[in-house]
Structure 1
């Protein structure tokens, strides 16, 4: 199998979780903390941290400390376009 196709399949596998897809969608608005993301997605901070770890390991988000909290942001703008296009496509009649 072509390596590019395998990498694309892996990307879609990571984004196949509704929680992770929602997180990436929310991060298109700007950096957020675990607590902010957990509140928006209605998940526990522990569960949110686990999903963020998966997204970080896939290279889709990164984090940096700002004061006492860690803020997560999109690491690859291409992913922003993929997610926004998918959401728009799903909303079409």
Structure 2
């Protein structure tokens, strides 16, 4: 996934960034996230699904509940991709 797409997804929703920051504290359920951030449980689930699709969080089932965790080096990998060489010819591909 291109870093620009991930950055766009994160920048388009400050709440999504808050969810990710909360997950760096440890595994959380959608209900716990909703309560902590004062958002609807469905909204928390939507943000978690988006973050999961971006590869920034993982989900683990525990009985009927799911717990989400931030991918430890997911954010680091994103930063490394962004910091890549400015003259990388592959970086120009999404401009064509």
TM-score range for the pair, normalised by the shorter chain length: 0.7 to 0.9
**CA offset at residue 28 of structure 1?**
0.7
Aligned length: 78
CA RMSD of aligned residues (A): 2.2
CA contact (8 A) 1:27 1:74 kept: yes
More helix by share: 1
> Bigger radius of gyration, 1 or 2?
2
Task: Give unmatched runs, 5+ long, in structure 1.
Answer: 1-5, 84-93
- Residues 28-63 of structure 1 deviation map (CA, whole Å, 9 limit, x = unaligned): 100000001001111100111111111111111110
Q: Where has structure 1 moved over 6 Å in runs of 4 or more? A: 80-83
What is the TM-score with the length of structure 1 in the denominator? 0.73
Task: Give unmatched runs, 5+ long, in structure 2.
Answer: 80-96
What is the TM-score with the length of structure 2 in the denominator? 0.71
Q: Which residue does 1:14 correspond to in 2?
A: 9
